[in-house]
Amino acid sequence: MEQIRCLILDDEPIAITVIESHLNEFKDLEIIAKCRSASEAFEVLRKEKVDLIFLDIEMPKLDGLSFLKSLKDPPLVLITTAHRNFALDGFELDVVDYLLKPIPLDRLMQAIAKVRRQLRTDQEYRSHGFDPLPYIFVKSDRENVKINLRDIRYIESLKNHVKIVTDQKNHITMVSIGEMQHKLPKSLFLRIHRSFLVNLSHIQNYTNTYVVIDRKSFPLGNVYKNTVLEVLDKNRI
């Protein structure tokens, strides 16, 4: 993967210094700008390619969430804040993770791992000719909920319902797994069992009998096994 180009936006110099110090531990992360105001960050985004923003929320003139809402096509975002009460707002804006200050290095490592996974997924989508941010709406809890396809880890059949498992939340909707399989891109989602449909980009390893996603094993059904192994073996060295 190429260098991940980062922008730090925080009005506190000490907070910027802490994040900068932590990022020195990651060889694939490059800090291209350190900004103390939204207007300064706007200028950087206008001129430079940015893959990831470390975004503080409480800032003068324009707060972090308002800044994020104003961006037409934002990069990936990690919220960095001393306040817990903005977490829901952040995730509704599709941030990758929500980090509470002071940010421990191990917690930042977890967040960076998510960023890397998401960037790899975006690359997979582009390589197959898809927009990296396709989405679906599903009816869940009496609402039509938007789900980005890249966030779906796997889909599990529950008779005439399915459970859609994502990074942020699980959704149960009244549709069959067969209907889901029909609607999702075949080059990115693979039926491996009568009960499971998985996102190919989230498979971590596999054998002749199962695949692993997030350290959880999913069995290969006899009907699907040969097709699954044929697809996965194409990318085996």
> What mean pLDDT do residues 127-131 have?
63
CB 87 within 8 A of CB 98: yes
The set of residues, in sequence order, having a beta carbon less than 8 Å from that of 45 and lying 6+ positions away, is 7, 71, 75
Q: Which has the higher per-residue pLDDT, 135 or 190? A: 190
**pLDDT tops 80 at residue 130:** no
pLDDT score of 60: 85
Rounded to whole angstroms, how far apart are CA atoms 60 and 43?
A: 17
What residue ranges in the chain does DSSP mark as E strands?
4-9, 29-35, 52-55, 76-81, 97-100, 135-140, 143-148, 152-158, 161-166, 170-173, 189-193, 196-199, 205-206, 210-213, 216-219
Rounded to whole angstroms, how far apart are CA atoms 206 and 234?
A: 13
pLDDT band at 186 (very low <50, low <70, confident <90, very high): confident
What six digits make up the tokens of 209? 């009998």
pLDDT score of 234: 84
The set of residues, in sequence order, having a beta carbon less than 8 Å from that of 90 and lying 6+ positions away, is 57, 65, 77, 79, 98
**pLDDT tops 70 at residue 181:** yes
Question: What pTM value is reported for the model?
Answer: 0.62
pLDDT score of 164: 96
Helix (H, G, I), strand (E, B) or coil at 128: coil
What six digits make up the tokens of 48? 């430079």
Give the H/E segment covering residue 122. helix 105-127
**pLDDT tops 70 at residue 87:** no
> CA torsion angle for 85, 5, 150, 78 (degrees, to 10)?
-10
pLDDT band at 133 (very low <50, low <70, confident <90, very high): low
> What mean pLDDT do residues 220-229 have?
92
**pLDDT tops 70 at residue 216:** yes
Of the given ranges (47-51, 107-111, 126-130), which has the lowest mean pLDDT? 126-130
What six digits make up the tokens of 81? 């804040």
How does pLDDT run across 28-56, given as a tens digit for each residue? 999 999 999 999 999 999 999 999 999 99
pLDDT band at 90 (very low <50, low <70, confident <90, very high): low
pLDDT band at 129 (very low <50, low <70, confident <90, very high): low
Q: What is the DSSP letter of 143?
A: E
pLDDT score of 94: 75
Rounded to whole angstroms, how far apart are CA atoms 82 and 85?
A: 9
**pLDDT tops 90 at residue 67:** yes
CB 195 within 8 A of CB 218: no
CA 111 to chain CA mean position, Å: 10
Q: What is the SS3 assignment for 5-45?
A: EEEEECCCHHHHHHHHHHHCCCCCEEEEEEECCHHHHHHHH
